[in-house]
Structure 1
Amino acid sequence: MNTLQTTTPARLMYLHMGSKEPQKQIDFYQHMMDMQCERFTDGSAVLRGPNRVVQISPADKHGLLAAAFQLGSKAQQAELRHQLEERGCSVQEITSPILEQGSFSIRDPQGRETIFGVANNHHRADLPGMPGRLQHVVFQTTELEDMVDFYVNTVGFTISDNVMDQETGKLMVCFLRSDDEHHSLAFFRGSKNEWDHHCYETNEWNDIRDWGDRFAKERISIFFGPGRHGPGNNLFFMVVDADRNRLEFSAELEMTTADQAPGNWPQSEYTLNSWGRAWIRS
């Protein structure tokens, strides 16, 4: 089967968040994440920084409304849509202030919305700010095998690493890639179906330090890390935004080849953080 990595490489481009208190979220991403705000008449806002974009809309509850992946061309957009429809996936054309006409969305079996499209002329990588490219998004799910099956066999993601419970042999975490980076999407087995976190990839360890200093200055504490993940081999730490959504800052994420076989890791603290204590989902 053609995969995203081999045929239509896709990179996470923006997240659409819902918020009960959108102004607090807007203030956070402007002040803490060096993002410039564009407001719309429906009360939503698009915030742009260097290689990172978020859309924030008023909502009844906090959380992620959609994750959007950027394709390299209109031809790749058309090819991916054709492949999805051939595999029986329902495709819905959408209008986005961040993507060109012809962008479309799909929903997985649990209702999560994923958008694919080509960036419009307003998307810029040269905006001022600290380095941190929006890079991956992660969910917890009660139906891990079904989610992996959908994103691999219908959408075209590739498994980079699996984390297994050594006593039961049960799959606990799956890391999925859509281009040459180790993962742009991942799922943890959990007791709830919810957004787990999203991540910004920096250039080096010193950037991790500088982001940590920025949050420390505002008395925003790191709740996981700093450390190094086993799968992906990346340095990291995590904090929360104004709505308590989790943000990760990462460096040195592993690169892969298209023929790289999936790795297998034991479910343990060392796998999730080789430097020390880990956050184990339940």
Structure 2
Amino acid sequence: MTLTAVRAGAYLHHVAFESADPERLAQFYADAMDMELTKTDNEWICEGPQRRYVVRAGESRKLAYAGLACRDAEGVAELKARAEAEGLDILASPSAFFEDGAFAVRDPDGHLIAFGLAKPQKAGFKGICGPTQHLTFASLDVEAFSDFYHGKLGFALSDRVLHKDGTLATCFTRSNHEHHTIACFKSDRTGVDHHSYEAGEWDTIRDWCDHVAERNIPLMWGPGRHGPGNNLFIFIEDPDKNWIEISAELEVIHDRPVKEWLHEPRTLNLWGKAILRS
């Protein structure tokens, strides 16, 4: 199977969420995640060094869209051709961050996923380092997620987590050398489980902890270390109850078989407390 998304070098460039109080949510991200805030006609845009978060008015805790940038225009075209060949509906990209030629598709749970060539980020952004890193969904059907991202778009499978009866609990897919770009947990709901920002290394996790502590934002989980991906993490929660992960030292994969893990607390956190989704 051709790993089209990996060939394109796609990576999570930005996410956009809906909110019943978009201005409040945007102001939280601007402060808590150390980003600059601007307002357009229908979006609040938070932007920092290699990280971007967009808010639109709407239903709280709902993903408006996610934007994955490709290495070059050829990669965008190849992904679009793959999606067309798989019979997917090609939709207009909603993202202002992409050049002409971007497109979007909807996954089995209705999430709008855009692919494009990123416009250059303007210079002068300051703040703690931390690019947008990955997006993780909650779904009733993880097999359908795997079939879509791996089978139809050509993401690579990194790890699978299985219940004791052999059914799929979690699926990690990647579109570059990092362990996961988009993942999915088996859940009793459909939506976003969390989105994540890259901290780089352990010392930057410390800096982020100090940063959120100064704002009286408690850590809801962590510090810990995941099994799949082997990354260090902390989690906080935004005013709409969306989960935000800050992650460091995520596994880089060049060539290895897909790993399978048992769905148990130690898989989610090698160091202690785990939040099991199913």
Give the TM-score normalised by the residue count of structure 1.
Answer: 0.95
What SS does the corresponding residue of 1:102 show, helix, strand or coil?
Answer: coil
Look up the match of 2:170.
173
Look up the match of 2:276.
280
Look up the match of 1:127.
125
- Which runs of 5 or more structure 2 residues have no equivalent in the other structure? none
Look up the match of 1:7.
7
Q: How many Å apart are 1:124 and its aligned residue?
A: 4.3
* One-letter amino acid matched to 1:185: I
* CA–CA distance in structure 1, aligned partners of residues 205 and 126 of structure 2: 18
Look up the match of 2:34.
34
CA 62–171 in structure 1, closer or farther in 2 if over 3 Å, else same: closer
Give the TM-score normalised by the residue count of structure 2.
Answer: 0.96
* One-letter amino acid matched to 2:21: E
* CA–CA distance in structure 2, aligned partners of residues 125 and 280 of structure 1: 41
- Which runs of 5 or more structure 1 residues have no equivalent in the other structure? none
What SS does the corresponding residue of 1:56 show, helix, strand or coil?
Answer: strand
Per-residue Cα deviation, 1:105-134 (whole angstroms, up to 9, x for no partner): 00012211111001113x247621101111
Does the CA-based 8 Å contact 1:5-1:180 persist in structure 2?
no
Picking from 266, 271, 278, the partner of 2:267 is 271
Q: How many Å apart are 1:78 and its aligned residue?
A: 1.1
Q: How many Å apart are 1:95 and its aligned residue?
A: 4.6
Look up the match of 1:19.
19
* One-letter amino acid matched to 1:53: R
* One-letter amino acid matched to 1:10: A
What SS does the corresponding residue of 1:260 show, helix, strand or coil?
Answer: coil
Does the CA-based 8 Å contact 1:20-1:62 persist in structure 2?
no
Answering whether residue 247 of structure 2 is matched by residue 235 of structure 1, we say no
* CA–CA distance in structure 2, aligned partners of residues 102 and 153 of structure 1: 23
Answering whether residue 114 of structure 2 is matched by residue 104 of structure 1, we say no
* CA–CA distance in structure 1, aligned partners of residues 59 and 186 of structure 2: 26
- Runs of 4+ in structure 1 deviating by more than 6 angstroms, as ranges, are none
Of 196-205 and 211-220, more deviation after overlay is shown by 211-220
Answering whether residue 216 of structure 2 is matched by residue 219 of structure 1, we say yes
Superposed, 1:72-221 pairs within 5 Å as: 72-121=71-120, 123-124=121-122, 127-166=125-164, 168-221=165-218
* One-letter amino acid matched to 1:153: G
What SS does the corresponding residue of 1:212 show, helix, strand or coil?
Answer: helix
Does the CA-based 8 Å contact 1:8-1:71 persist in structure 2?
yes
Q: How many Å apart are 1:63 and its aligned residue?
A: 2.3
Q: How many Å apart are 1:45 and its aligned residue?
A: 1.7
Does the CA-based 8 Å contact 1:234-1:251 persist in structure 2?
yes
Answering whether residue 55 of structure 2 is matched by residue 59 of structure 1, we say no
Of 210-219 and 168-177, more deviation after overlay is shown by 210-219
Output the aligned Cα RMSD: 1.4
